[in-house]
Amino acid sequence: MVVAISPGKIILFGEHGVVYGKPCLSVAISLKVAISVEKSDSTKINDDPLNEKKHSYISKAIEKLWKEGGGVSISTFSQIPSASGLGSSAALTTACVASLLSMNGKFSLPEVARKSFEVEYDVQKIASPNDTSVCAKGGAIFVSNKRGDNFLWSIEKDGKEWYIHSVELPPMKFVIGNTGAKSKTPLVVKKVEKFVKQSSFAKELLEEMEDIVIEGKKALEKNDYVGLGEIMNKNQKILHTIGASSREIEKLIDITRKAGAYGAKLTGAGGGGSVIAISDEPEKIVKEMRSRDCDAFVVSVAKEGVKVWS
């Protein structure tokens, strides 16, 4: 039997833009997904027969990576709320791909990142390799269309190439607020795509977001929480304008800022899901948010990415 554990993620800056090759900065978080895989006569997921719709990511990973006869019996356990912008699908995919690659004797982090991206892309029909790469690597990553310092690996698709770099992070904590509304990633990504294809204004906004990601990376490297918060607020304004926000997200962000956060924004595709906020007193912000009936908690950085034991 093989067991794999993968962290979830938050996107600090640059979601949506990264689908078009723009830069993005994301962080692996302390919420995790665990999966165990063993050979079996038939394929079962948590004791149920494999269902392509219900188990879309696992089913696609098996289709791509399990070439032996017979099946696999898979059990999953997740601490990550689903459809919340916290990387539940990416972590599940990465853990599943890592397990199957390890069973085939082909495990390496770049291979896990590449194959996991292919799985996400095939299921969602539109995606960037950001989420699966940060789950594979752990810590923080910077994705760009140019190769720079601390380069890890690159991933290509449909004429686009994403260069993944590692970013040094101090031990940080983030406030998470969950709206409780599901974030339907493929729907929101397609909605934004329509806007980007039809409007030069949307393209200008994505270019503006490019500068924000670079500015945010500098603030992060300087450990400047106040600067980070301001830049997160600027990023949120753009995400709102391109149609990725929602009434629930804006309300939660407002509560978070009033509770004393330096800045807050949605994480992931949006349209629901979670918001992230920065403060040097994250527990205090969470307490304030909870007193206003919000589902809020603190996460720390997961230094390690996906791990496999056999």
- Return all residues near 99 (Cβ < 8 A) that are at least 6 apart: 2, 3, 4, 35, 36, 37, 308
118 lies in the binding site for ligand PMV (CB under 6 A):
no
Q: Least distance (Å) from ligand PMV to the CB of residue 291?
A: 28
Choices 38-46, 125-133, 251-259, 282-290; region in contact with ligand PMV by CB under 6 A: 125-133
Binder among 102, 144, 179, 183 for ligand PMV (CB under 6 A): 183
Residue nearest to ligand PMV (CB): 268
Q: Least distance (Å) from ligand PMV to the CB of residue 303?
A: 20
119 lies in the binding site for ligand PMV (CB under 6 A):
no
Binders of ligand PMV among 88-107, rule CB under 6 A? 89
Binder among 18, 28, 167, 286 for ligand PMV (CB under 6 A): 18
236 lies in the binding site for ligand PMV (CB under 6 A):
no
Choices 10-18, 37-45, 162-170, 276-284; region in contact with ligand PMV by CB under 6 A: 10-18
Q: Least distance (Å) from ligand PMV to the CB of residue 111?
A: 19
Q: Least distance (Å) from ligand PMV to the CB of residue 158?
A: 13
227 lies in the binding site for ligand PMV (CB under 6 A):
no
Binder among 7, 81, 87, 138 for ligand PMV (CB under 6 A): 87
Distance of alpha carbon 157 from the chain centroid: 19
Q: Least distance (Å) from ligand PMV to the CB of residue 117?
A: 9
Q: CA 96, 151, 122 angle in degrees (round to 5)?
A: 35
- Give the side-chain half-sphere CA count within 13 A for 164: 26
130 lies in the binding site for ligand PMV (CB under 6 A):
yes
Rounded Cα distance between 211 and 120, Å, is 27
Q: Least distance (Å) from ligand PMV to the CB of residue 18?
A: 5
Q: Least distance (Å) from ligand PMV to the CB of residue 280?
A: 26
269 lies in the binding site for ligand PMV (CB under 6 A):
yes
Rounded Cα distance between 273 and 269, Å, is 8
Q: Give the number of residues in contact with ligand PMV, rule: CB under 6 A.
A: 16
| Residue closer to ligand PMV, measured from CB, 161 or 281 | 161
Choices 37-45, 72-80, 82-90, 289-297; region in contact with ligand PMV by CB under 6 A: 82-90
Q: Which residues bind ligand PMV (CB under 6 A)?
A: 15-16, 18-19, 85, 87, 89, 127-128, 130-131, 183, 185, 189, 268-269
